[in-house]
Copies of this chain bind each other. A is one copy, B any other.
């Protein structure tokens, strides 16, 4: 038997972090569990979906050693409903985990911890450190462009490229692409793909870590991320990410600078019609006016005008408005640059006067 005395806030926070990795359906009960590992170094909470494993150190007082497993969802719901501003006492035995907190007493059934998957990194091939919020923002800016379909394995994730003093994240679903990069003193060169699910887990563990230091390690097969008492180990997807550099457009003929917010608002309005028709909108830039339009055979048509600054030729092209809006929502500058080549080439959008990220959207053929 072992015993833990802990603040509810600490317990709730750590269980919330580790239990999110547990899949909604599991083959074996142990894979639906959080493992309490009480050893000489401290108390650790662990959860894993075999691809991603999360281990969090619990700041607490404890006596007794051993491993104890309990259903993650029940445990999560229990700690979420208990008051946050008090202490709790946990008693762990091979058959039960009891939680006593104020006048509440839970006695949860324990699961045999023997088969809990152990995941750890091998010999470290590369490592770097970065501010947690910086990495979080980079992920946030690219992840929405990844393919959602799990069967498109080479696009269902985020590609990491390290080298030449840069960390670069890229994702694409074949119709659009997002790229974020950050200067980092990295000497080794490497590239690997992490699945969308793993990336969401990484966002989850880095969220709210602010300026805390994050340590990154790579052993050739797995990536380890250590930040704020939490260690996440993610398996790399062993398929090749497409050669994205060939898609990046060059030699632009038209550069348009437009208010990010005005463009989002106009796109939202044109979408009301576009989604009831061809799902496409037409963008026309004539002199210093950008005209958005769309037409639905049954419901009518819409026409929007926005004043812009333009360099280069006039242009006409058509796009899926959803892809434009999603990219614009991740551009934080007041103005955005739209860089066109012609009506059949990809459009590049990037924040005005800010380096480090860009979006590329394929046009739709104008019939």
Q: Which residues of B contact A104 (CB under 8 A)?
A: 266, 269, 302-304
Decide yes or no: A300 and B105 within 8 Å by CB, A74-B272, A83-B265, A269-B81 being known contacts.
no
Chain A 101-133: CB-based contact to B (< 8 A → 1; otherwise 0): 001111111000000000000000000000000
Is A298 close to B, CB under 8 A? yes
The CA-CA distance from A273 to B109 in the complex, in Å, is 11
- B-contacting residues, A252-281, CB 8 Å: 265-266, 268-269, 272-273, 276
Decide yes or no: A300 and B103 within 8 Å by CB, A74-B272, A83-B265, A272-B77 being known contacts.
no
Q: How many copies does the complex hold?
A: 2
Is A189 close to B, CB under 8 A? no
The CA-CA distance from A78 to B82 in the complex, in Å, is 45
Q: Which residues of B contact A298 (CB under 8 A)?
A: 109
Decide yes or no: A106 and B273 within 8 Å by CB, A81-B265, A81-B268, A300-B96 being known contacts.
yes
Decide yes or no: A300 and B83 within 8 Å by CB, A74-B272, A78-B269, A272-B77 being known contacts.
no
The CA-CA distance from A71 to B302 in the complex, in Å, is 15
Smallest beta-carbon distance A83→chain B, Å:
7
Q: Is the CB of A300 within 8 A of B106?
A: yes
Is A301 close to B, CB under 8 A? yes
Interface core residue of A82, A103, A266, A276 (most chain B CB under 10 Å): A103
Q: Is the CB of B299 within 8 A of A105?
A: no
- Of B83, B108, B272, B276, which contacts A299 at CB under 8 A? B108
The CA-CA distance from A296 to B244 in the complex, in Å, is 53
Q: Is the CB of A302 within 8 A of B269?
A: no
Chain A 298-330: CB-based contact to B (< 8 A → 1; otherwise 0): 111111111000000000000000000000000
Give A contacts to B, CB under 8 Å. 71, 74, 77-78, 81-83, 96, 103-109, 265-266, 268-269, 272-273, 276, 298-306
Instruction: Give 3 closest A-B pairs by Cβ, nearest first.
Output: A108-B300, A103-B305, A77-B272
